[in-house]
Structures are given as structure tokens and as C-alpha cells.
Chain A
Amino acid sequence: GQNIDQPTEMTATEGAIVQINCTYQTSGFNGLFWYQQHAGEAPTFLSYNVLDGLEEKGRFSSFLSRSKGYSYLLLKELQMKDSASYLCAVRVEEDSSYKLIFGSGTRLLVRP
């Protein structure tokens, strides 16, 4: 089966750094996405990894190790507005089409 695990909740302090981990067991791997979802809003795209290594985009970075089935999202210089859920999603290829399988999300609370 397809399975994605990430912690349910994390708490961090404004200005600090937080790392949100994601492990996956999937077949037909075709890339890993991170989405941010504020309460009551739509998920918005943050980052994409398809090759091993680190992708940096401003305060956010994402890392992928395909051999370990592991990714993390790193958030630096945390701001209060970063309080949200962070969804790890693996794109898999099935029957010549692609679909995203989402983890249950990590709810991040940033405290002053």
C-alpha cells in the first residue's frame, strides 16, 4: 500500500528554526511536494523535490532522500504567520496517470 507519515503537531518559537519530517512507503514515486494550509483555507504549494538533496527557497528548504523514503521541510526565522498545517504529498505514477497521496499534515504552532 501507499503510506506517508508525518508528526501530528509541533510547536516552535518565533525566530527559531523548525524541521518537519516526512517518511513514505510508496510505489511509482515521481516527486515529493510540500504544501502549506492555514486553517479554513486552501493548501498552497511550497516546494518540490524529485532528486535527492536540498532545495532552498527563501526561508523554506526541503530535502529528499529517495533511498530512505524520507523528506523534511525546514523553516527558518519563524514568523507568527507560519502557524499552519504542513502537508507532505508524494506523487505516484499509476496506470500512466499521476496522483498525489497526502500525509495527514503536521500542525505547526509558532509562539511569541
Chain B
Amino acid sequence: DTAVSQTPKYLVTQMGNDKSIKCEQNLGHDTMYWYKQDSKKFLKIMFSYNNKELIINETVPNRFSPKSPDKAHLNLHINSLELGDSAVYFCASSQGGRGFQPQHFGDGTRLSIL
């Protein structure tokens, strides 16, 4: 299936731990994104990569570090997890540039910090 897939779907861990979320897309897109959706359902962009290059870096704590080994993958590593990091994290991809370029979203990773 052509899609954006992210793993794991659920992540429950203790405060202070380090964890990673992986994302892969096989849509042939050149741009990938990480979003955070909080308990109020606000979907907010965190990072965007175009052809492995970081192009958007919103005001995110530097405990969050994205890594793009190639344009089909964008992983998110989080150090020293805090209670406020509990949220759903969505990966998305699109073709870059102007015009009609809808973003396609993965199913989300539900992160719960104990």
C-alpha cells in the first residue's frame, strides 16, 4: 500500500527516558513533516525536511531532534521525556513547492509519559 507509516502506534514510558519514533513514506514525496497534536486537538508543526534538508524548525525544545537519512524517512528522537510531551505525534509528507500539494498523514504515535 502507498502510504505514510509511522511506528510505534503507542508509546508509554517513564519521565526522563529517551525514545524514538520512525516514519517512512513510499509516495515519492520530497518533503516530510512532524506535527504534535495536544489534548485540545491543536495540530502544530514541529519540523519539516525537504530532500533530507531541514527547512522548518519551529520553537521546539532541543530535546527533540529529527533525523532524515533519506527523503523517504524522517525519524524523531526525544531526550529526557517530560510530562508535557504527552501527545499524539503525526508524521506527514507532500511534494514540495507552490500550488496544490496536500499533505498525507501517518496514523499517529500516541505518546504517554508516566
Contacts and interface: CB of A to CB of B under 8 A. Distances in A.
Contacts, number: 50
B98 A45 contact: no
Interface of B: 40-45, 48, 50, 55-56, 90, 96-108
B105 A99 contact: no
Interface of A: 30-31, 33, 41-45, 48, 50, 85, 87, 89, 94, 97-102, 104-105
Secondary structure class of chain A's binding surface, majority of residues: strand
A11 B107 CA distance: 26
Contacts of B107: 41-42
Given A42-B107, A100-B45, A102-B43, A33 B50 contact: no
A43 B90 contact: yes
B102 A99 contact: no
